[in-house]
Structure 1
Amino acid sequence: MLAVVCAVLAVPPAAAAAEEDEVAGIIVLGVPGLAWTDVDESVTPNLWAMAGSGASASMSVRTIGSWTCPEAGWLSLGAGERAGGAAPRDAQCAAQSQLPAPVEDGDGWSAGGWDALIEANESFNYGARLGSLADAMTAMAAEEEAAALEAEAAGEPVVEPDPGACVAGIGDGAALAAADTEGRISFWAPGLASLGEAMAACDVVIVDPGVVVGDTADEAPDTSTDYDQLGEDDTGVGSDEPSGELDTGEIAPEPDSVRTRAAAEADAAVGEVEAALPEDWRLLVAGVADASAPSALHPVLYSGAGVEPGELTSATTGRDGYVQLVDVTATALGAVGAEVPATVAGAPIQVLPDAGRTSEAAVAQGIDETAASQSVIAVSFVFYSVLSGLGVIAVAAAVWLLCGSDRYRGLARTVCLAVAAMPVAGVAAGIPHWWRGEHPSLAFWVIVAAGMAVLTVAASLPWTRRGARPVLVIAGAAALLIAVDQVSGATWPLHTPMGYTAQAGARFTGLGNYAFSVFAAAVILLIAFVPWKGRARVWGPIAIGVCAVVIVGAPNLGRDMGGTLTLVAAVILCCWKLWGRKLTVKAVILAGGIAFGVFAIGGFLDYLRPQEDQTHLGRFVGSVLDGTATNILIRKAGAAIGTIGRPLTWLSLAALIGAIIIWRKRAPIRSSEVAAAVIGLSAVAVLGAVVNDSGVAVTGFTTALGFGLLAVAVGPRTERAQPATRDPVSTAPSSGN
Structure 2
Amino acid sequence: MLRRLTPVLLTLVVVALGVTALAARPDNGGPKRSADFVVLAGVAGLRWEDVDPQHTPTLWRMAEQGSIGSLSVRSAHRPTCPVDGWLTLGAGNFAAWQGSNRVGGCPATGVTVEQPDGIGANLPDQQSVVAYNQDKLAWGATPGALSESVRCSVAVGPGAAVAAARPFGRVDRYAPVLPADPAALLGSCVLSIVDLGTVDADDPTVRAAQARQADAQLARVLAARPPRSLVLVAGVSDTETPSRLHVAVADGPGWERGWLTSPSTAREGYLQLVDLAPTALEALGRPMPERLFLGRPAVSVGGRPADLRTAIDQPADADREAGAQRRVAGWFFTLLAAAQVALAVAVLPLLRRARRHAGPYGPEPVSRRVVAVVELLLVAAALAVPAALLADAVPWWRGSQAGWWFGVVTALLIVGGTAAVRFSPGHGSTLGPLGAVAGLATLVVGVDVLTGSRLQLNGVVGYSALEGGRYSGLGTIGLGVFIAGSLLCGGWLAQRVRRPWRPMVMVLVGGAAVVIVGSPYLGADSVGAIALTAGVSVAAAICSGGWLTISRLAWATMAGLAVMIGFAVVDLRRPAAERGSVGRFLAAVGDGTGGLTVHRASSANVETLVNSPLTVLALAGAALVWLALYQPWGGLMRLFGIYPAIRAAMAGTAVAAALGGLLGGSALDVAGAAGALVVPMAALAALRVLDHSTDRTLPGGGRPGEEGPAGGPSGGGDHPDGGRAGRPADPEGAARPDGDDDPSDPVPGRAAEDDGEAGTAGGTAGAQVPTQARPASTRMRAG
TM-score between both structures, scaled by the size of structure 1: 0.86
SS of the aligned residue for 1:550 comes to: helix
Residue 660 of structure 2 is aligned with which of 667, 688, 709? 688
Residue type of the partner of 2:83? Answer: E
Aligned equivalents of 2:529, 2:761: Cα separation in 1: 25
Residue 579 of structure 1 is aligned with which of 517, 535, 544? 544
Residue type of the partner of 2:345? Answer: A
Aligned equivalents of 1:454, 1:356: Cα separation in 2: 35
**Match of residue 692 from structure 2:** 719
Aligned equivalents of 2:420, 2:208: Cα separation in 1: 53
Residue 265 of structure 2 is aligned with which of 317, 323, 340? 317
**Residues 291, 724 of structure 1: CA spacing in aligned structure 2 closer, same or farther, 3 A cutoff?**
farther
**Contact in 2 for aligned 1:533/1:730 (Cα 8 Å):** no
SS of the aligned residue for 1:475 comes to: helix
- Cα deviation, residue 322, structure 1: 0.8
**Match of residue 421 from structure 1:** 383
1:169 and 2:144 matched:
no
**Contact in 1 for aligned 2:35/2:283 (Cα 8 Å):** yes
Aligned equivalents of 1:553, 1:411: Cα separation in 2: 39
**Residues 136, 394 of structure 1: CA spacing in aligned structure 2 closer, same or farther, 3 A cutoff?**
farther
Aligned equivalents of 1:30, 1:123: Cα separation in 2: 27
Aligned equivalents of 1:91, 1:299: Cα separation in 2: 25
**Match of residue 330 from structure 2:** 381
Deviations 1:698-719 (A, max 9, x none): 2221111110112222334232
SS of the aligned residue for 1:502 comes to: coil
Residue type of the partner of 2:38? Answer: I
Aligned equivalents of 2:617, 2:421: Cα separation in 1: 23
Residue 201 of structure 1 is aligned with which of 185, 188, 199? 188
Aligned equivalents of 2:665, 2:228: Cα separation in 1: 44
Aligned equivalents of 2:426, 2:116: Cα separation in 1: 77
Q: Which moved more, 1:599-608 or 1:355-364?
A: 355-364
**Contact in 2 for aligned 1:71/1:96 (Cα 8 Å):** no
Q: Which moved more, 1:25-34 or 1:64-73?
A: 64-73
- Cα deviation, residue 401, structure 1: 4.4
Deviations 1:256-280 (A, max 9, x none): 3332222111111111101101331
Residue type of the partner of 1:358? Answer: D
Residue 366 of structure 1 is aligned with which of 302, 307, 315? 315
**Residues 268, 108 of structure 1: CA spacing in aligned structure 2 closer, same or farther, 3 A cutoff?**
closer
**Contact in 2 for aligned 1:571/1:680 (Cα 8 Å):** yes
- Cα deviation, residue 508, structure 1: 0.8
Residue 76 of structure 1 is aligned with which of 77, 85, 88? 88
**Contact in 2 for aligned 1:52/1:360 (Cα 8 Å):** no
- Cα deviation, residue 198, structure 1: 3.4
- Cα deviation, residue 349, structure 1: 1.2
- Cα deviation, residue 321, structure 1: 0.8
Q: Which runs of 5+ in 1 are unaligned?
A: 138-164, 220-254
- Cα deviation, residue 94, structure 1: 4.2
**Residues 601, 732 of structure 1: CA spacing in aligned structure 2 closer, same or farther, 3 A cutoff?**
farther
Greater relative CO (CA pairs within 8 A, separation 6+):
1
SS of the aligned residue for 2:62 comes to: helix
Q: Which runs of 5+ in 2 are unaligned?
A: 1-12, 355-364, 695-715, 717-750, 763-783
**Contact in 1 for aligned 2:154/2:172 (Cα 8 Å):** yes
Residue type of the partner of 2:159? Answer: G
Question: Percent identity among equivalent residues?
Answer: 30
**Match of residue 558 from structure 1:** 523
Deviations 1:91-113 (A, max 9, x none): 56543553332453799533231
- Cα deviation, residue 726, structure 1: 5.2
1:334 and 2:282 matched:
yes
SS of the aligned residue for 1:713 comes to: helix
**Match of residue 479 from structure 1:** 442
1:508 and 2:471 matched:
yes
SS of the aligned residue for 1:282 comes to: strand
Aligned equivalents of 1:607, 1:109: Cα separation in 2: 41
Q: Which moved more, 1:685-694 or 1:424-433?
A: 685-694
- Cα deviation, residue 354, structure 1: 5.6
1:350 and 2:299 matched:
yes
**Contact in 1 for aligned 2:609/2:668 (Cα 8 Å):** yes
**Contact in 1 for aligned 2:259/2:304 (Cα 8 Å):** no
- Cα deviation, residue 314, structure 1: 1.0
Aligned equivalents of 2:584, 2:188: Cα separation in 1: 34
**Contact in 2 for aligned 1:20/1:350 (Cα 8 Å):** no
Matches within 5 A, 1:85-484: 85-90=97-102, 93-95=105-107, 97-102=109-114, 104=116, 108-121=120-133, 122-137=135-150, 165-193=151-179, 195-209=182-196, 211-215=197-201, 219=202, 255-341=203-289, 342-353=291-302, 357-405=306-354, 406-407=365-366, 408-461=370-423, 463-466=425-428, 467-484=430-447
Q: Which moved more, 1:556-565 or 1:294-303?
A: 556-565
SS of the aligned residue for 2:393 comes to: coil
**Residues 643, 307 of structure 1: CA spacing in aligned structure 2 closer, same or farther, 3 A cutoff?**
closer
**Residues 308, 88 of structure 1: CA spacing in aligned structure 2 closer, same or farther, 3 A cutoff?**
closer
**Match of residue 618 from structure 2:** 652
**Residues 336, 54 of structure 1: CA spacing in aligned structure 2 closer, same or farther, 3 A cutoff?**
same
Residue 620 of structure 1 is aligned with which of 574, 585, 590? 585
Over the aligned positions, Cα root-mean-square deviation in angstroms equals: 2.5
- Cα deviation, residue 299, structure 1: 0.8
Residue type of the partner of 1:521? Answer: A
